[in-house]
Amino acid sequence: MQETTVARNYAEALFDLAQRDDDLELYAQQLGLFADLVEAENDFRLFLASPQIEPSEKKKVVRDVFEGHVPDRLLRFLYVVIDKRRTRVLPEMAAEFKAIVNQHFGRLKVDITLASEPDEALKEELKERLGRMLEKEILPRFRIDPRIIGGVVIRVGDSFMDGSIRNRLHRLRRSMLKADIG
């Protein structure tokens, strides 16, 4: 099974558990923090990944550090991840879980590329307009790329809207080259 599929399956299972506690945001935050810790701390990552260390010892360390700080169901979920030797997939699980939570709440991640750094008013206006257009709460990620010259490029999942000046110039050039002048 591909790691993405594994991560998605685990994230869906955790989503069901988190709904029982009616605290999806807390689960997303806590799982994200745990996954960040696994990625950032090489010793901890190696400890969790080591086949020489018994799962019971790994779970004891996780319990000693996190019990009382994360929901009980999330802690038990982490134990299953450890038992099934899936800790290397934790960052993908956290990302998949966050995506499921965002979808549940009608949120949409949107990449917005501009030629120069936007001020807060423009950021808010773009977020608001896109939210109305897509009928979702927008979670924008702004990027700067001076090569687009001006305008805006928007990516929503696999969809791509290019309103950049660079793209308009390319289209104009193509149409001029195709034009039958004579």
Last residue of a domain, one of 74, 103, 132: 103
Banded model confidence at residue 1, pLDDT cuts 50, 70, 90 = low
Note whether 23 and 53 are same-domain residues: yes
Question: Per-residue pLDDT tens for 120-160?
Answer: 999 999 999 999 999 999 999 999 999 999 999 999 988 99
The residue-averaged pLDDT of 78-82 equals 96
Mean pLDDT score of the chain: 93
Banded model confidence at residue 2, pLDDT cuts 50, 70, 90 = confident
Q: What is the DSSP letter of 67?
A: B
Question: Per-residue pLDDT tens for 12-57?
Answer: 999 999 999 999 999 999 999 999 999 999 999 999 999 999 999 9
Last residue of a domain, one of 103, 133, 165: 103
Note whether 16 and 95 are same-domain residues: yes
**Range(s) of the domain holding residue 61:** 3-103
Q: What percent of the chain has pLDDT over 90?
A: 92
Note whether 15 and 87 are same-domain residues: yes
pLDDT of residue 157: 86
pLDDT of residue 18: 95
Note whether 70 and 143 are same-domain residues: no
pTM confidence score: 0.79
Note whether 81 and 135 are same-domain residues: no
The residue-averaged pLDDT of 153-172 equals 93
Note whether 113 and 80 are same-domain residues: no
Note whether 59 and 38 are same-domain residues: yes
Note whether 56 and 33 are same-domain residues: yes
If you search the block for the tokens 């039958």, which residue do you land on?
Answer: 180
Note whether 8 and 93 are same-domain residues: yes
The residue-averaged pLDDT of 53-65 equals 95
In a 3-state reduction of DSSP, which class is residue 135? coil
Last residue of a domain, one of 70, 85, 103: 103
pLDDT of residue 182: 58
Residue 10 to residue 44: CA distance in whole angstroms: 21
Work out the number of other CB atoms within 10 angstroms of the CB of residue 126.
Answer: 19
Number of domains in the chain: 2
From the list 85, 31, 76, 90, the residue with the least C-alpha distance to 55 is 85
pLDDT of residue 3: 76
Q: How far is CA 162 from CA 19, 133, 143, 153, in A?
A: 38, 16, 14, 4
